[in-house]
Amino acid sequence: MIKDIGLLIKFKLSTLVLLSAAAGYAIGLGKHPDVELAFDGLRFTYLLIGGFFITGGSNAFNQIWEKDTDALMNRTADRPLPSKRMTVNMAYFYAISLTIIGSYILTFHVNYFCGALGIASLVSYVFIYTPLKKISPLASIVGAFPGAVPPLIGWAAATDDLGLEPGVLFLLLFVWQFPHIWAITWVTHDDYSRAGIKLIPSKNGPGTETAHYIFWSCALLIPATFWPYYIEMIDIYSLVAIMISNAGFLYLSYKLLKEHSNKNAKKVMFASFFYLPIVLIIFSISCIN
């Protein structure tokens, strides 16, 4: 049962979301060392617990509403709901409980900014992105919003404020998600097609058009990472380190553009997994120093 609960709330994904929020918290503290809050261990703990719960609740709702779709895909057919190891009522219990507890913790034990952002992320992910995936590739744009929110929540927890600098973090994560999700949909195209999911940006599926979308979205990461340097959020050394990461990511997307293969798409996909934590670590180190 514990394993199935972990699968329902997508434990690994929820943990990665927490790492993004923690990075936002570290960056916020580093850029605002004069705030009275400074490092508050209890508040940071509440941020992690509340963030984990509301993310887990979002993922549980997602799986409830996609249980029939999941049953059609090889990679998701063994999830607790399509495999019938868990009842829908039990899944609703976990989803509702985690959402209520997570929202309460973020709102009343961290601050209202965090609570509002957490709820907005859940609503966009569960009520807009999830049904839109079977209607239009525009779902990728909607889905990029909740994926880019965690650093904002972390920043707000550290500073009790929002502004231009966390907006820069949001933009960077927002842009990063397009090559990330499109590479995933390329690799899993057969599964997604079988389930009627339309996340891939081209009507022709994997191929030249999709490769162009992936390449140019990777290219957009370059101006997205120049902006934080321009507003003096990071130093020149951090900018160079991030640009090296950008160059590697862009090179792999260029290879996919030249040779449309699952092998190259997988390289872009795995590069996207490494790119984000590397960039967030660089940001955190730069801002703390």
- The model's pLDDT over 102-118, given as tens digits with 9 standing for 90+, comes to 999 999 999 999 999 99
pTM of this structure: 0.91
- What is the residue type of 163? G
pLDDT of residue 13: 84
Instruction: For residues 193-215, give the mean pLDDT.
Output: 89
pLDDT at 193: 87
Task: Please name the amino acid found at residue 113.
Answer: F
Mean pLDDT for 162-185 is 92
Residues ≥6 apart with Cβ < 8 Å to 176 = 221, 272, 275, 276, 279
Over residues 222-280, the pLDDT tens digits come to 999 889 998 888 889 999 999 999 999 999 999 999 999 999 999 999 999 999 999 99
Residue of 199 and 100 predicted with greater confidence: 100
Which helix (H) or strand (E) is 189 found in, with range?
A: helix 189-195
The CATH superfamily of 1-160 is UbiA prenyltransferase (1.10.357.140)
Q: For a pLDDT cut of 70, what percent of the chain falls above it?
A: 97
Tens-digit pLDDT profile for residues 6-54 = 888 898 888 888 889 999 998 888 766 554 456 788 999 999 999 999 9
* Amino acid 289: pLDDT: 65
106, 114 contact by CB (below 8 A): yes
Identify whether the C-beta of residue 278 lies closer than 8 Å to the C-beta of residue 248: no
**Spatial contact of 21 and 44, defined as CB atoms under 8 Å apart:** no
Q: 236 is written with which tokens?
A: 């020149």
How does the average pLDDT of the chain come out, rounded? 90
Per-residue confidence at 196, pLDDT binned at 50, 70, 90? confident
Q: Is 221 within 8 Å of 176 (Cβ atoms)?
A: yes
Two tokens, residue 207 = 């191929």
Q: What is the pLDDT of residue 33?
A: 56
Residue-wise pLDDT tens digits, 76-89? 888 999 889 999 99
The yes-or-no verdict on residue 175 having pLDDT over 90 is: yes
Residue 245: what pLDDT? 94
Q: What pLDDT is attached to residue 48?
A: 95
